[in-house]
Chains A and B, each alone.
Chain A
Amino acid sequence: MSMDRRQFIKIAGISTVLGFGGTLGLSKLKDSWASEMLQSPEALNAKHWAMVIDVKKLTSEEHYDKAISACHRAHNVPNIGNPKEEVKWLWKETYEHAFPGMEQEYMPEGIKHKPFLLLCNHCENPPCVRVCPTKATFKRESDGIVMQDMHRCIGCRFCMAACPFGARSFNWRDPRPFIKEQDENKEFPTRTKGVVEKCTFCYERLAKGEMPACVEAVKDTKALVFGDLSDPNSEVRKILSTHYSIRRKPELGTQPSVYYLIGGEENA
């Protein structure tokens, strides 16, 4: 069969029109079932979630372990054992590593050797979000939580390079064998090999009207306070306006949402 140019253009035109018709039909089909998706009524809401960690109130090792294991259990964080492949959402670090440049020789011994609880800072200006090529990491406009969409993460680890707080972990291997079966939280997924993960301020618990797992775990000490930074009457704002607090690496301008009280109120 031979075809001249005129015929070819005719057929191409007709099939393009038919093609458009097809996609229109498809989009109509899609609308027919698109029903409403809502927030759950019991969800906790805030314009800017923040956490205050009162280091003085964390007096024993047990407090740290409780908070860390509550977090890691709730989110099926594996315990791989090898520091090079470590996955961590909430962890302990010394003052000089947590606040480099802010240490000095004659600071109180109690602070110098005290472990600090570190987690994702949920920065107001998060560098990880800026560098993510797939928008797998993004800041929720509604409440300021810096989220990680594990479905979209391609494991490029730009975010790990960009994060100045080392708050992100990469899954070098399948984490499943490293989660004990009795510790597994059946309501939360694990991760797969090749994605980055981090603390998400327990967005899944907030949606159910619960406080983050670490806050819940050390509730009796009142060392971790979680609340809305945009609300002047919230507990976090009250604490921050009456106590001196520090944040990690303020010189970088990322504006962390995690504040540390390191004591010194007696003379403040």
Chain B
Amino acid sequence: MYDSGKIIVGLLIFVGIVTFPFYYNAGKAVAKPDLKLDTPVIQQMPEAERKCVETKEFMRGGHMQLLNNWRDSVVREGNRVYVSSNTGKRHTMSLQNTCMNCHSNKKKFCDECHNYMVVKPYCWDCHIQPKEKEL
């Protein structure tokens, strides 16, 4: 093989650069997102009624599908009332008005996880985020 020395050295440098982020960050633990659910609105609710439109487990994994379905249903079909399959309660489908009414702590409730996962949804380019109240 011609120039094997150069090629192998080149390959080693290449692999080194590509894997740099892995060994540079190895061993450093990134703080886990620390969600907070206690907003003034939620605290005012009686304990038994502190339930989201769906189960906590579902919302954790599937809130994006739920929101996507909501927006199609509201804008395109004109349906605005969501019957929860969890509690059977009726909710008005609205990110800005319903979700953020309870979860008014956007920084702790949305951004904490989205930043951790490096997910950048563009909801707030249009929807008006709530004014955060200090607890």
Contacts and interface: CB of A to CB of B under 8 A. Distances in A.
B76 interface: yes
B21 interface: no
A36 B80 contact: no
B96 A37 contact: no
Nearest to A32: B85
A60 interface: no
Interface string B86-97: 000010110011
B1 interface: no
A189 B126 contact: yes
B97 A149 contact: no
Interface in A147-161: 147, 149-151
The secondary-structure label for the interface of chain A is loop
Interface in B76-135: 76-85, 90, 92-93, 96-97, 122, 125-128
Interface string A174-194: 000000000010111111100
Interface in A9-43: 30, 32-41, 43
B38 interface: no
A229 B82 CA distance: 30
Contacts of A172: none
A99 interface: no
B84 A35 contact: yes
B73 A37 contact: yes
8 contacts: A33-B54, A39-B79, A39-B80, A186-B128, A187-B97, A188-B96, A192-B126, A207-B80
Given A43-B78, A138-B76, A147-B75, 15 more contacts: A33-B54, A33-B58, A33-B62, A34-B69, A35-B82, A35-B84, A37-B69, A38-B83, A39-B79, A39-B80, A40-B92, A187-B97, A191-B126, A192-B125, A203-B78
Closest 6 CB pairs of A and B: A35-B85, A192-B125, A189-B126, A36-B83, A37-B79, A38-B81
Interface of A: 30, 32-41, 43, 76, 138, 140, 142-143, 147, 149-151, 184, 186-192, 203, 207
